[in-house]
Chain A
Amino acid sequence: MPSSIIKTENLTKIYSGNIKAVDNVSFEVEEEEIYGFLGPNGAGKTTTILMLITLLKPTSGKATVCGFDIAKEQAKVRDCIGYVSQDTAVDENLTGKENLLLQGRFYHLPKDILEKRINEVLEMVDLADRANSLVSTYSGGMRKRLDIAEGLIHRPKVLFVDEPTLGLDIQTRHKIWEYIQRLRIESHMTIFLTTHYMDEADKLCDRIGIIDYGQIKVVGEPNELKNQIGGDIITLRFTNETGSHANQAVEEVKKLSSIENVVPTKDSFNVVAKDGETTVPKIFEVASKAGATIESISLKRPALDDVFMTYTGRELREETGSKDDLMRERIRMRRARM
């Protein structure tokens, strides 16, 4: 039976001003799995990581990492974890190699082992040929790769990765995903990551915890979560003129035998149906009987977006948060270059 390498019980963090960033969160991460926290910005993902890596004291609740209590055995926790922050905290005024050297020394690696490890991780993230260049000459993707390499230098049992591809372009993101997957296969590491990108969670994680407003809404394997939705997703939008007839029509739709669930969204309805293809014509039928005119209708297999929607009642828009973050990132970069 696989054992839990991370375990939290009612972990809670309340910031001053009575802001509940993390609200009674309990979960377990098994050895050698990639576990992802999926949620919008401000959902409490980073706060959870900061507590698990001993940088933030929980307001209440308990957690252990590698079997050590995060509040009482901080030094032991730090020894067995690696941390890659969303800030891409590499020192621009040092070379890639110097950054790794410094990181390795922070973990008290003996000199000969450190030399070997540096070459190893540089190979792994394809930065060997740029090892002796200043990081200020690196692109965003290269910096992130170096950052990840730094997290690996001491071969931690658990690697915490906060938003690994924040602000990176699509190609670079795919590259980073490859590295993370390779990492797991080659090093048998447990990886705890957070993301607000659906595709990232879907592609990388063995299990996902959906987190919103500091609470875990659901935990499961991506496929399992998608199957749990219980059918295909039909998105239904009525014309403006339909008005109150729409609600009547929806009531009728709900009565159809193949319908599992109907979730109203801002301007449309999400219908979960067992057999989407044959349900669509039936929906047309009952809608027109109820006097409602359908403006548009679409049918798709469930994706993680829909899982998120089902459990939180709102859409996880990738743009909203990441734009702010991108801006922040850009300001950071600009300042760093001054």
Chain B
Amino acid sequence: MSILGDTWNVCWRELKRFRRQPARILMSIVQPIIWLALLGNMMQAITPMLGPGIRSYLDYMAPGIVVMTTIFGGVFGGMSVVWDRRFGFLNKMLAAPISRSAIPIGKMIASSLISALQATLILCAAIVMGANVATGPLGAVAVILIALVLCLMLSGISLALGAVIKSHETLMVVMNFLTMPLMFTSNALFPKNLMPGWLQTIADWNPITHTIEPIRTITTNGWDWANILPNVAIIAVITLAVMAIATWVFRRSIS
């Protein structure tokens, strides 16, 4: 199947490019680390309100910050399409006999792998700062895999927008406009049961919440499958749908 090979080639290029930009890796993890250090201490007082199994606010927010890192990383999925279009690289790929779908899929996978790496670094930083992972190393791997699913979803959104918007400045603004509210209407940094009713409703519908839920269960509680599986199923379905739509939008934008 040439689509698999083509997808890997597109992905390979993105990963190679990323490796050549150490500043990008560094910058992308500095901000979440600052958040961890600042918020982790600032919000310490609300720890008793956060529920059983949580020893500190850092325990509570670490999953939120890990997910935040993948959200910011996901934005780049679409950026690379905009760049490639501007520099003519997209046309070069399209002139070659490669599967059209391989381009968006390869880019989504690459940007998710990169985000997963960043998320791993943040998780390690959180653990060094004292955050708990109740389920041990295996739990940490599960956390990253769940974050990876969310990242595929976000890079899909970003890619679909990038295929239509065609200017990286506009795309950046639109993605920021999307990501910040997504973040703050979820339970990433603040428990849902302390939110006003209307905000709880939004949080219930927010895919970020359904990503954080299982991650937090794994880091603070243990392998509570009744909580983990339904949430993971929800984001997996949404992610597959978003990826399919993004691929369709991309294909439409080039024909």
| Distance between Cα atoms of A105 and B8 in the complex (Å) | 10
- Bound state CA distance, A93 and B87, in angstroms? 13
Q: A98 within 8 Å of B by Cβ?
A: yes
Flag if B21 contacts A93 (CB, 8 Å).
yes
Contact of B2 among A55, A81, A87, A108 (CB under 8 A): A108
Q: How far is the CA of A103 from the CA of B13 in the complex (A)?
A: 10
CA distance A332 to B9 in the complex (A): 25
B12 A102 Cβ-Cβ under 8 A: yes
Q: Tell whether A53 pairs with B95 under 8 Å between CB atoms, given A89-B89, A105-B9, A106-B6.
A: yes
CB-based contact B96/A107 at 8 Å? yes
- Count of CB-CB pairs between chains A and B under 8 Å: 67
Chain A residue numbers with a CB within 8 Å of B252 are none
Considering only residues 166-192 of chain A, those with a C-beta below 8 Å from chain B are none
The answer on a CB contact under 8 Å between A336 and B96 is no
Q: Is A134 an interface residue (CB 8 A)?
A: yes
B9 and A93 within 8 A (CB): no
Whether A83 pairs with B92 at a CB distance below 8 angstroms is yes
Interface residues on B, range: 20 to 34
A83/B91 contact (C-beta < 8 A), A57-B255, A102-B9 known: yes
Query: B84-110: contact bitstring with A at CB < 8 Å (1 yes, 0 no)?
Result: 001111011111111000000000000
A79 at the interface (CB under 8 A from B): yes
Contact between B16 and A93 (Cβ–Cβ < 8 Å)? yes
Q: Is A119 an interface residue (CB 8 A)?
A: no
Interface SS, B side: helix
A78–B98 Cα distance when bound, in Å, is: 9
A78 touches which of B6, B21, B97 (Cβ 8 Å): B97
Q: Which chain A residues numbered 27 to 80 have a C-beta less than 8 Å away from chain B?
A: 50, 53-55, 57, 75, 78-79
B94 touches A85 (CB 8 A): no
Residues of B within 8 Å of A195, CB to CB, are none
Within 8 Å by CB of A94, from B16, B87, B91, lies: B16
A81 to B5, CA, bound (A): 20
| A91 at interface by CB-CB < 8 Å | yes
Min distance, Cβ A323 to any Cβ of chain B, angstroms: 20
Find chain B residues with CB under 8 A from A107 CB. Answer: 96-97
Do B95 and A78 touch across chains, with their CB atoms under 8 A apart?
yes
Cross-chain contact A102 with B91 (CB below 8 angstroms): no
Q: Please determine whether A94 and B95 come into contact, CB atoms closer than 8 angstroms.
A: no
Let me know if A88 is at the binding interface, CB within 8 A: yes
Please determine whether B97 and A93 come into contact, CB atoms closer than 8 angstroms: no
For B95, list chain A residues within 8 Å (CB): 53-55, 78, 81-83
State whether B96 touches A91 (Cβ < 8 A): no
- Please name all residues of chain A whose beta carbon is closer than 8 Å to the beta carbon of B86 when the two chains form the complex: 332
Residue of B nearest to A90 (CB): B89
Q: Which residues of B contact A82 (CB under 8 A)?
A: 95
28 A-B contact pairs sorted by A residue (CB < 8 Å): A50-B91, A55-B254, A57-B255, A78-B95, A81-B95, A82-B95, A83-B91, A85-B92, A87-B89, A87-B91, A88-B88, A89-B87, A89-B88, A89-B89, A89-B91, A89-B92, A91-B13, A93-B16, A93-B17, A93-B20, A93-B21, A94-B17, A98-B16, A102-B13, A105-B9, A108-B2, A108-B5, A336-B87
Give me the interface of A with B, judged by CB distance under 8 Å. 50, 53-55, 57, 75, 78-79, 81-83, 85-89, 91, 93-94, 98, 102-103, 105-108, 134, 150, 332, 336
What residues of chain B have their CB less than 8 Å away from a CB belonging to chain A?
2, 5-6, 9, 12-13, 16-17, 20-21, 86-89, 91-98, 254-255
